Amino acid sequence: MARCRTAALGGHVGKCLDCGHERIAYNSCRNRHCPKCQGLARARWLDRETDYLLPVAYYHVVFTLPAEVAELALANPAPLYDLLLQAAAATLRGVAADPKWLGAAVRTLLVLHTWGQNLHHHPHVHGVVTGGGLSCNGQGLVDASPRWVACRPGFFLPVRVLSRVFRGKFLNLLRAAFDRGQLVFPGRLAPLAQATAFARWLAPLYAKDWVVYAKPPFGGPGQVLKYLARYTHRVAISNQRLLNVDNGQVTFRYKDYAADQRQRTLTLTAEEFLRRFVQHVLPKSFVKVRHYGLLANRQRRQRLDQCRRLLLVATAAAGLPSSGSSGLTEPAPGQRCPHCGGSRIVRTAVPCSTPGDTS
């Protein structure tokens, strides 16, 4: 990321055939944690996601790990982040399938975030869920001849129930991971490696209220797209929030949720800033955006077709912006000369400054 868009990664020189103006453009690093490299990936992902939208209300649900568990997750990022996503998906699936609350299999998209505004470790999952789904039994199996079951207007599922179910499912998964020897306990966590100590550590977590937050429904599928554009490819901090780097100090802007979301500034040493940032580098190949329920890969097309027929629409994109015209895909840079506006640009490759280094 430090070499992103620098001579170290090579690039190309664009020369305008109309006015002769030349401009050099260096290559991107394409790292998924880089704040400069997410625009194109986000646009392509949104084009695909548009095809999965349904003309129904969508709800935003957030599942957060308690601070005690977050510390363990920092030492075991891959297994615990995976458990977090599994538990959140199982909670939504189980509560929604319960005929007492909805009795339907819903469409769920989950996105893992690990940071707070001040870059502290704060693992949580954002969920975008349809306000209804296909009728199913208590285990979540869709009926042979399903009907569409909609939520009550403005109400998805009870937050208190979601919180307690989420707590139980995550802690059961965590205990099973411990029994399988999948967890490590470095530093001050070392005493928890003993089974009796780990059981004592778990006990108060069952009595604690876990935070699950449900926001009001989106205004429509178009707003869902805008939300997804903001959240799915977001990284720990954007360039726009960085205010100053000077004399080994980094100053950035953050939103203080404890003070009515006021904008504040925070100055850290460069070492502390980097320490906080690298906490949010995900394990290699870890998938942070996942589909569940009606969007599960195995029967996605079949289930979406059933939903569309039951909702009396021809396609999920009916009345929605079509791919490439949503207004979210920015035009590729460098298509026109910045000096004269001409479009006849000839590009010549520029090699990396360090031979053979393209990482």
Looking at per-residue confidence, does 190 or 222 come out higher? 190
Distance CA 127, CA 111 (A): 6
Q: What is the mean pLDDT of residues 236-241?
A: 82
- Are residues 132 and 12 part of one domain? no
CB 151 within 8 A of CB 329: no
Query: Residues 239, 62, 60, 110: is their CA dihedral positive or negative?
Result: positive
Which stretch of 103-112, 123-132, 162-171, 304-313 has the lowest confidence by average pLDDT?
304-313
Which stretch of 64-78, 159-173, 177-191, 318-332 has the lowest confidence by average pLDDT?
318-332
Distance CA 107, CA 130 (A): 5
As a whole number of Å, the end-to-end CA separation of the chain is 10
Q: Is residue 314 predicted with pLDDT exceeding 60?
A: no
Beta bridge partner(s), residue 136:
142
Q: What is the mean pLDDT of residues 269-289?
A: 89
Q: Give the number of C-alpha atoms closer than 13 A to the C-alpha of residue 38, restricted to the C-beta side.
A: 17
Global confidence as pTM: 0.79
- Are residues 113 and 32 part of one domain? no
Q: Which domain holds residue 358?
A: 1-51+331-359
For 257, the 3-state DSSP assignment is: helix
Which stretch of 42-56, 185-199, 303-317 has the lowest confidence by average pLDDT?
303-317
Q: What is the mean pLDDT of residues 91-120?
A: 91
Residue 325's pLDDT is 41
**Element holding 254 (H helix, E strand):** strand 249-256
- Are residues 250 and 164 part of one domain? no
- Are residues 149 and 257 part of one domain? no
Residue 338's pLDDT is 74
Total domains in the chain come to 3
Residue 354's pLDDT is 57
Residue 313's pLDDT is 52
Task: Tell the residue number behind the tokens 């099973």, with chain if given.
Answer: 176
Beta bridge partner(s), residue 107:
293
**Element holding 148 (H helix, E strand):** strand 148-150
pLDDT tens track for 87-105: 999 999 999 999 999 999 9
- Of 224, 210, 180, 214, the closest CA to residue 198 belongs to 180
For 328, the 3-state DSSP assignment is: coil
- Are residues 355 and 246 part of one domain? no
CB 206 within 8 A of CB 5: no
Task: Tell the residue number behind the tokens 């980094």, with chain if given.
Answer: 250
Banded pLDDT at 251 (limits 50, 70, 90): very high
Residue 278's pLDDT is 87
- Are residues 108 and 192 part of one domain? yes
Q: What is the mean pLDDT of the chain?
A: 82
Q: Give the number of C-alpha atoms closer than 13 A to the C-alpha of residue 272, restricted to the C-beta side.
A: 12
Q: What percentage of the chain reaches a pLDDT higher than 70?
A: 87
- Are residues 348 and 202 part of one domain? no
- Are residues 34 and 65 part of one domain? no
CB 37 within 8 A of CB 30: yes
- Of 120, 304, 128, 355, the closest CA to residue 228 belongs to 128
- Are residues 356 and 256 part of one domain? no
Q: What percentage of the chain reaches a pLDDT higher than 90?
A: 35
- Are residues 230 and 156 part of one domain? yes
Q: What is the largest CA-CA distance in the chain?
A: 76
pLDDT tens track for 317-358: 344 444 444 444 333 444 677 777 777 777 777 666 654 444
Integer-rounded Cα radius of gyration of the chain: 24
- Are residues 228 and 251 part of one domain? no
Phi, psi of 124 (to 5 degrees): -155, 165
- Are residues 253 and 232 part of one domain? no
Q: Is residue 52 predicted with pLDDT exceeding 60?
A: yes
Looking at per-residue confidence, does 180 or 337 come out higher? 180
For residue 110 the two structure tokens come to: 């989950």
Residue 330's pLDDT is 39
